[in-house]
Structure 1
């Protein structure tokens, strides 16, 4: 079934088209949800709620850009709304490098194992993790993050800075990297965009 046929079928509430859409995008979207969730079960719940929104809002897709990107935005917003509803986003840590890890003078390996990095991101407090994902992986600006999360732009910036620092410490401690890279451009490689 082509994407156009799937879209048309979903507009007509055809179960077979909805199943095709789910089968085509569920694995990628589960990976998106997993970055925001506390565990796999929460990610699966976010995924299900996100697809319910996709099916109920498919009529709003205007063919401006990729259908997959439209679905991804719905998933991200679903995850954020679930976190805000459960008040999990407000969990934060005041880190003054509680890990106590010192940075060594070696360089970041050219290839970092994406799965290991994602697992390390999941160790961050939910507030840090959410801002890091939105900024570094999804490409939102701090102004957009502030609007979406109902926080100040300066809070988004400080959460991102703290998230980077904490993530670098975790990556060093787990010996995934030896020294943090000042720019976090390599992080985008884990997003599977």
Structure 2
């Protein structure tokens, strides 16, 4: 059985989904849900909560499709909604507090060696305090600048930089411990 793609162009698919065409909405969900679940999972430790947040965010995607201007990546637009939904959840549920620390220091860290699995790395990121984790993900994974993060989270740029510095330091310490453990030196 050969499956024929009914919507050749993304633009047409988005237009149909914006008009509440359930088939078009399902195609968008099917195409992007696995990637967006991994985005939500980077911020939310529990996979079931991450999935709930992803579904809520997709509802916002479909409710706001008419606002998508076809400038830039559609996937990037969806991703931004996912990230914002995760941040909103963390703010409400966890009541994350950011420590105002304008006296940060920036260190250069080596890239994580390929000896660690994705699961190991995700475990290390999950073990960070929520504020560190959020800013680390926004900066290192999503690629936001400190100015954007500060505006998004209503904090100062210095706080964003400080939180990132502390997160990197904690991750580096954890990686060192893992390496020592794996080498039998701890």
TM, length-normalised to structure 1: 0.78
1:125 CA drift (Å): 0.9
Shift of 1:108: 5.3
Structure 2 distance, partners of 1:144, 1:175, is 34
The structure-2 alpha-carbon separation of the partners of 1:81 and 1:108, relative to structure 1 and needing over 3 Å to count, comes to: closer
CA 1:169 to 1:60, structure 2 compared with 1: closer, same or farther past 3 Å?
Answer: same
Deviation of the 1:38 alpha carbon:
2.8
Partner of 1:11: 18
State yes or no: 1:31 paired with 2:38.
Answer: yes
2:18 and 2:63 in contact (8 A); partners too: no
1:120-173 per-residue CA deviation (whole Å, 9 max, x = no partner) reads 111111100000000111111111111111112111111000000011112222
CA 1:153 to 1:23, structure 2 compared with 1: closer, same or farther past 3 Å?
same
- Greater shift after overlay, 3-12 or 139-148? 3-12
Name 1:71's counterpart in structure 2.
78
- Relative distance call for 1:149 and 1:176 in structure 2 (3 A) is farther
Q: Quick one: which of 63, 66, 71 aligns to 1:59?
A: 66
Choose the corresponding residue for 2:166, options 153, 156, 162: 162
The root-mean-square deviation of aligned C-alpha atoms, in Å, is: 2.5
Which aligned pairs between 1:91-130 and structure 2 lie closer than 5 A? 109=113, 112-130=116-134
Structure 2 gaps, min length 5: 1-6, 102-109
Q: What is the distance in 2 between the residues matched to 1:89 and 1:137?
A: 20
Question: Where in structure 1 are there 5+ consecutive unaligned residues?
Answer: 95-105, 179-193
1:177 and 1:142 map into 2 onto residues whose CA distance is: 34
User: How many residues of Structure 1 are paired with residues of Structure 2 in the alignment?
Assistant: 166
Q: Which runs of 4+ in 1 moved over 4 A?
A: none
Aligned-residue offset at 1:43: 0.6
SS for the counterpart of 1:174 is helix
Over alpha carbons, which structure has the higher Rg? Answer: 2
Native 8 Å contact 2:25 2:62 kept in 1: yes
Deviations 1:25-44 (A, max 9, x none): 00000000001113112211
| CA spacing shift, 1:34–1:108, aligned 2, 3 Å | closer
